[in-house]
């Protein structure tokens, strides 16, 4: 859904709006809001919209109460009646901000399971100010101990679909230039797409290509957005000086536990939607086959080494059930 992003001429200038979409993780969202209140973490005048994504619990009341109790006057809680997914919730937050605060220079999409380190968001804004051709920028995501997480990626390809599942040293070296998650340098670097856990977008990009595609319930919506921006001529950057703690999977439950939960059907549907939308049916089928070959190669290696899988349970069966060549079987 595209949104009318024009503000009234008499609206005050606004540098940044932060949108946080919560779903049944009110305690995490409140901790995220608290981290943004540390002086210098966000630019002066920043407005924050905490979207309560139809959780059906007391999340909206808890978040609104925390905002009032702590005096976070730059933040509001926007309760939604339905859980429409990541894109839906963020789009409603962007719409609300545009209608009530004016048109900002930038919008930051921030997961509720994140903690912004002091100065982190301000550094991302400063980078965007210095780089007018940058349409999108993402933070360095890390664990609480400072260890980095994969957060900057290449667009999906048949080669990296195979490599990412095969997990074989020789294959990775051979296909290194296509590896989906390359090693990132310590300085800002151009990349294909960045994680939606901390993704800043220039509002001019929204004007040109629209907001997130609500056809994705969860997953691949940021990949879709970044490829649309790239095709419109905007660059995407990873900015390691902006450091955000990401409590991986806490907002979705998919990777929350030591052993991952079963991968939900909407992951497979989002993956398929992205492939068909941007590359067509032939690419979708070939990507599925590449993934299957890589995954089977990995399982054979585990069997030969006498190891058990640490991945999501029933992943192969679920992939086959939802994939193009086998869909409906």
DSSP 101-141: H--EEEEEEE-TTEEEPTTHHHHHHHHHHH-TTEEEEEEEE
Q: Note whether 174 and 57 are same-domain residues.
A: no
Specify if 4 maps to a domain. Answer: no
Q: Note whether 148 and 161 are same-domain residues.
A: no
CATH classification at residue 129: 3.90.550.10
Task: Round to whole Å and give the CA distance between 118 and 223.
Answer: 27
Whether the pLDDT of residue 168 is over 90: the answer is no
- Mean pLDDT (whole number) for 247-266: 70
Q: Note whether 51 and 168 are same-domain residues.
A: no
- Mean pLDDT (whole number) for 261-287: 96
| C-alpha torsion 21→26→32→37, nearest 10 | 110
Q: Note whether 230 and 328 are same-domain residues.
A: no
In contact, 29 and 63? CB cutoff 8 Å: yes
Whether the pLDDT of residue 196 is over 80: the answer is yes
Q: Note whether 240 and 261 are same-domain residues.
A: no
Domain tally for the chain?
2
Boundary of a domain, candidates 209, 227, 246:
246
| C-alpha torsion 243→247→252→257, nearest 10 | 150
Specify if 1 maps to a domain. Answer: no
Task: Round to whole Å and give the CA distance between 201 and 138.
Answer: 9
Instruction: List CB contacts of 231: < 8 A, sequence separation 6 or more.
Output: none
Q: Note whether 107 and 19 are same-domain residues.
A: yes
Q: Give pTM, 2 decimals.
A: 0.91
Q: Note whether 26 and 149 are same-domain residues.
A: yes
Q: Note whether 53 and 76 are same-domain residues.
A: yes
Q: Note whether 198 and 303 are same-domain residues.
A: no
Instruction: List CB contacts of 235: < 8 A, sequence separation 6 or more.
Output: 131, 133, 134, 135, 136, 190
Distance between start and end Cα atoms, the chain = 33
- Mean pLDDT (whole number) for 305-314: 90
Residue 94 sits at the vertex; the CA angle it makes with 93 and 99, to the nearest 5 degrees, is 100
For 224-241, the pLDDT digits (tens) are: 999 999 999 999 999 999
Output DSSP code: residue 148.
Answer: B
Residue 23 CA: distances (Å) to CA of 28, 73, 82, 201: 10, 22, 10, 22
In contact, 156 and 76? CB cutoff 8 Å: no
The pLDDT-based confidence of 310 (bands split at 50, 70, 90) is confident
Specify if 8 maps to a domain. Answer: no
Task: Round to whole Å and give the CA distance between 34 and 116.
Answer: 9
For 7-54, the pLDDT digits (tens) are: 444 455 899 999 999 999 999 999 999 999 999 999 999 999 999 999
* pLDDT score recorded for residue 13: 86
Specify if 43 maps to a domain. Answer: yes
For 57-102, the pLDDT digits (tens) are: 999 999 999 999 999 999 999 999 999 999 999 999 999 999 999 9
Whether the pLDDT of residue 246 is over 50: the answer is yes
What is the domain range of residue 311?
A: 157-181+257-329
Task: Round to whole Å and give the CA distance between 23 and 32.
Answer: 14
* pLDDT score recorded for residue 257: 45
Which residue, chain included where needed, has tokens 């962007």?
Answer: 94
Whether the pLDDT of residue 324 is over 80: the answer is no
Task: Round to whole Å and give the CA distance between 200 and 138.
Answer: 6
Q: Note whether 87 and 163 are same-domain residues.
A: no
Q: Note whether 145 and 63 are same-domain residues.
A: yes
Specify if 299 maps to a domain. Answer: yes
- Mean pLDDT (whole number) for 134-145: 98
Whether the pLDDT of residue 154 is over 60: the answer is yes
Sign of the dihedral through C-alpha 287, 292, 294, 295 = positive
Q: Note whether 102 and 164 are same-domain residues.
A: no
Specify if 237 maps to a domain. Answer: yes
């Amino acid at each position: 859904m595209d949104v009318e992003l024009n503000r009234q001429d008499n609206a005050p200038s606004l540098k940044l709006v932060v949108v946080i979409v919560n779903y049944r993780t009110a305690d995490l969202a409140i901790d995220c809001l608290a981290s943004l209140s540390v002086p210098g973490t966000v630019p002066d005048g920043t407005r924050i919209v905490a979207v309560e994504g139809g959780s059906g619990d007391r999340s909206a009341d808890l978040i609104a109460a925390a905002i009032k109790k702590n005096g976070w006057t730059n933040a509001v809680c926007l309760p939604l009646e339905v859980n429409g997914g990541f894109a839906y919730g963020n789009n409603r937050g962007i719409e609300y901000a545009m209608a009530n605060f004016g048109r900002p220079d930038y919008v930051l999409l921030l997961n509720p399971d994140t903690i912004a380190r002091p100065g982190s968001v301000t550094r991302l804004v400063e980078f965007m100010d210095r780089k007018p051709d940058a349409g999108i920028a993402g933070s360095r995501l890390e664990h609480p101990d400072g260890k980095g997480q994969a957060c900057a990626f290449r667009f999906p390809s048949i080669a990296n679909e195979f490599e990412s599942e095969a997990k074989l040293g020789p294959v990775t070296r051979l296909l290194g230039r296509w590896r989906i998650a390359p090693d990132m340098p310590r300085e800002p670097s151009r990349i294909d797409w960045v994680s939606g856990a901390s993704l800043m977008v220039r509002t001019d990009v929204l004007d040109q290509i629209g907001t997130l595609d609500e056809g994705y319930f969860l997953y691949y919506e940021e990949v879709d957005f970044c490829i649309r921006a790239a095709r419109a001529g905007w660059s995407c950057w990873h900015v390691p000086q902006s450091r955000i703690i990401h409590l991986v999977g806490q907002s979705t439950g998919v990777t929350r536990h030591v052993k991952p939960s079963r991968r939900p059907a909407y992951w497979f549907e989002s993956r398929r939607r992205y492939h068909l939308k941007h590359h067509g049916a032939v690419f979708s089928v070939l990507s599925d086959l590449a993934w299957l070959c890589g995954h089977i190669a990995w399982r054979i290696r585990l069997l030969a080494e006498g190891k058990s899988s640490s991945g999501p349970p029933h992943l192969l069966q679920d992939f086959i059930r939802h994939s193009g060549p086998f869909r409906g079987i």
